[in-house]
């Protein structure tokens, strides 16, 4: 196909879009709704990821050491844990720091402070707060804590207790939630993608039906399939690009308004900030989706009249 034919196809497709009038407008509106759904899924996915990350950061396992454990031995355990590939972070809290934090938390509770004073010493243990890269990895971390020979000093275990049993239910639920969210998200995207193609297919097919006589004449004079399909594919792509542009423009005030109302409720996640910071990604997904939907729907719709 030479440049002249390409130019004619582009011009013909543009004219078809303009001459479509109400049909083109209806197709743009439907495509806009479809792309808005895709855009909403992008923000929903980002919100879920943010929420799950926030929850993951609040779930951890703590290992408490006997009061006689030397700090050097505890730090040796910390070093061993940090070498594990499944561990993201290990934070050491000395017994003195734990006591100071306890006093701060109960500064207004004189009865508790008096009871602590009556003990005449520090009843709190040094601890390591361990955060895994994935909640499903905590079991292996606990297994390491219970079996590693590096956790003994002079042949005596320096581990007093590990709070994994208390957090296991929360960790298991979080792991299931992350897996379910990923699977459901994929299913929702797939369903809406299919629905979008069907909707675009139906509306573009209507535009092609209106031009069926013109298509028949083109076939009679020997026009190739590519030449017949070209204008309608161009029309579909133009429709998608116009709809995508509208969606991208609409998202600016919508994310700003909704973000201002929901940022605190979403735990600090701002829709407007995400849109501004990830605009190239959102632009690429929506624009590419619009081109694919418009082009693919046009190809599928025109095949009926070309018998290919």
Query: Quick one: pLDDT at residue 113?
Result: 67
- The owner of tokens 């594919």 is 233
The predicted-structure confidence for 212-228, as pLDDT tens digits, reads as follows 777 777 777 776 666 77
Task: Say if residue 304's pLDDT is above 70.
Answer: no
Q: Is residue 218 within 8 Å of residue 227, measured between CB atoms?
A: yes
What is the CATH code for 67-157? 3.30.70
C-alpha 250/C-alpha 100 separation (Å) is 52
169-183 pLDDT, tens digit each: 766 776 677 677 777
- Cα 299 from Cα 40, distance rounded (Å): 27
What stretch of H or E contains 161? strand 159-162
More confident residue, 296 or 16: 296
What pLDDT, on a 0 to 100 scale, did the predictor assign at position 245? 92
Q: Show the 3-state SS of 55-121.
A: HHHHCCEEEEECCCCCHHHHHHHHHHHHCCCCEEEEEEECHHHHHHHHHHHCCCCHHHHHHHHHHCC
The arithmetic mean of pLDDT across residues 108-130, rounded, is: 74
pLDDT tens-digit profile of 38-90? 888 888 878 877 877 777 677 778 888 887 778 888 888 888 888 888 888 88
Residue 272 has pLDDT above 50, yes or no: yes
Separation of alpha carbons 213 and 191, rounded Å: 35
- Give Cβ neighbours of residue 300 (< 8 Å, ≥ 6 apart): 197, 201
Angle of the 225-262 helix axis to the 22-58 helix axis, nearest 10: 50
Q: What are the residue boundaries of the structural domains of the chain, listed by start? A: 3-55+174-306, 67-157
Strand partners for 91: 129
User: Closest Cα partner for 255 from 270, 272, 269?
Assistant: 272
- What pLDDT was estimated at residue 200? 65
> Among candidates 296, 230, 306, which has minimal Cα distance to 4?
230
Say which residue the tokens 């720091």 belong to.
97
Query: What confidence score (pLDDT) does residue 153 get?
Result: 53
| 61 and 81 Cβ atoms separated by less than 8 Å | no
Average pLDDT, the chain: 76
In sequence order, what are the residues at sequence separation of 6 or more whose Cβ sits closer than 8 angstroms to the Cβ of residue 115?
Answer: none
Rounded to whole angstroms, how far apart are CA atoms 204 and 85? Answer: 53
Contact 32, 246 (CB under 8 A): yes
E strand or H helix that includes residue 156: strand 156-157
Cβ neighbours for 251, distance < 8 A, ≥ 6 positions apart: 39, 275, 282
Calpha distance 102→92 (Å, rounded): 16
């Amino acid at each position: 196909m030479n440049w002249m034919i390409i130019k004619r196809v582009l011009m013909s497709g543009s004219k078809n879009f303009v001459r479509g009038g109400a049909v083109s407008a209806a197709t743009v509106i439907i495509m806009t709704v479809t792309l808005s759904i895709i855009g909403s899924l992008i923000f929903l996915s980002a919100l879920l990821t943010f929420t799950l990350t926030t929850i993951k950061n609040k779930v951890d396992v703590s290992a408490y050491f006997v009061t006689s454990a030397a700090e050097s031995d505890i730090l040796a355990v910390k070093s061993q844990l940090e070498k594990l590939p499944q561990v993201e972070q290990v934070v050491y809290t000395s017994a003195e720091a734990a006591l100071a934090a306890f006093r701060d938390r109960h500064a207004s509770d004189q009865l508790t402070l008096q009871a602590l004073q009556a003990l005449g010493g520090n009843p709190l243990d040094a601890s390591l707060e361990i955060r895994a890269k994935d909640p499903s990895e905590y079991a292996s971390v606990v297994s390491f804590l219970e079996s590693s020979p590096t956790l003994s000093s002079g042949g005596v275990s320096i581990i007093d207790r590990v709070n994994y049993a208390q957090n296991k239910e929360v960790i298991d639920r979080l792991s299931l939630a992350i897996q379910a969210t990923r699977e459901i998200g994929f299913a929702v995207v797939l369903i809406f993608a299919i629905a979008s193609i069907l909707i675009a297919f139906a509306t573009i097919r209507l535009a092609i039906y209106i031009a069926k006589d013109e298509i028949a004449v083109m076939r009679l004079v020997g026009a190739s399939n590519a030449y017949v399909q070209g204008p309608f594919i161009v029309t579909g792509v133009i429709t998608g690009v116009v709809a995508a542009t509208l969606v991208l423009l609409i998202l600016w005030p919508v994310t700003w308004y909704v973000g201002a109302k929901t940022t605190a409720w979403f735990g600090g996640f701002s829709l407007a900030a995400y849109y501004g910071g990830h605009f190239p990604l959102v632009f690429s997904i929506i624009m590419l989706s619009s081109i694919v939907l418009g082009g693919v729907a046009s190809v599928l719709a025109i095949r009926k009249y070309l018998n290919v």
